[in-house]
Amino acid sequence: MTDMRDSHVSAWFWVGVPVVVYFGHYLLRVLAPDAFFDHYILHESGATEQGTILVLALALIMGLVVLREVSSLGDKRLWLFFGLFCLGCLYFGGEEASWGQHWMGWNAPDQWASLNNQNETNLHNSNGLAGSLLDQLPRNLLSLAALIGGAIVPLVRRARGKTYTPDSFAYWIMPGIACVPAGLIAALASIPQKICKSIAGDVVWPMDINAGEVKELMIAVFLFVYIVTIWLRLRHRNDEIRRLIPK
């Protein structure tokens, strides 16, 4: 078993899902009425933000499944790594949902609201340095991880024909070629809008898809695609072991 087929997943998933989710925003912007797009896609309770929460919930569930399965590999570093992955998905998703405020409709406590620039029950919209450290820093780090670890490294490994052996730590944590589309899109999702603004002086139709929120959705998609490929590696390993056991 080599890393050249480390995904064990169909191309419709690892290519189709990130491409459709991302470019679907531009397609809807062109085809849908402005009022529909603004209310059902871009709104606080619209498809983009709610989709981010949903995808992160799925990534968390898959992460917990992987966390249970990697215990059989006997490497505590894997348990720690995927435990941190699960905590990251929980934090990311919880912050996006303001820990239930957007669904339950409560008002943030006065003391909390005074520290939060959107009067929400979350940490990433905190005023000042705290907000930057809890919002921009994690997002930038995830973008770099998606670009370098999720796209560049797998492409370089594929070009060089380099593989990881299944008994190595790297084999079980490194993104494979199946993460490249999601990694590239997640890292570069806001670039078209920035180019548009630099040329036109503003974000004009149909580039005005709220690239920041879409970028967060694509980061969530990258995390989901990544953890699914890890789960499939584990399942493939278990299938191989069962085939080797005499009946």
Least confident piece of the model among 28-37, 84-93, 131-140 = 131-140
The predicted structure's pLDDT at residue 106: 63
The predicted structure's pLDDT at residue 80: 97
The predicted structure's pLDDT at residue 192: 94
Q: How confident is the model at residue 4 (pLDDT cuts 50, 70, 90)?
A: very low
Domain ranges of the chain: 3-244
Average pLDDT, integer, range 192-209: 93
DSSP codes joined into one string, the chain: --GGG-S-S-HIIIIIHHHHHHHHHHHHHHHS-HHHHIIIIISTTSHHHHHHHHHHHHHHHHHHHHHHHHGGGT-HHHHHHHHHHHHHHHHHHHHHTGGGHHHH-PPPPHHHHTTBTT--S-STTBSHHHHIIIIIHHHHHHHHIIIIIIIIHHHHHHHHT----TTSHHHHHS--GGGHHHHHHHHHTTHHHHHHHHHHSS--TTS-S-HHHHHHHHHHHHHHHHHHHHHHHHHHHHHHHHHHS--
The predicted structure's pLDDT at residue 223: 98
Q: Give the pLDDT confidence of 85-97 residue by residue, as tens digits.
A: 999 999 999 988 8
Which of 55-59, 70-74, 137-141 has maximum average pLDDT?
55-59
The predicted structure's pLDDT at residue 55: 98
Which of 109-123, 130-144, 170-184 has maximum average pLDDT?
170-184
The predicted structure's pLDDT at residue 239: 77
Average pLDDT, integer, range 37-64: 95
If one compares 129 and 156, the residue with the highest pLDDT of the two is 156
Rounded mean pLDDT of the chain? 88
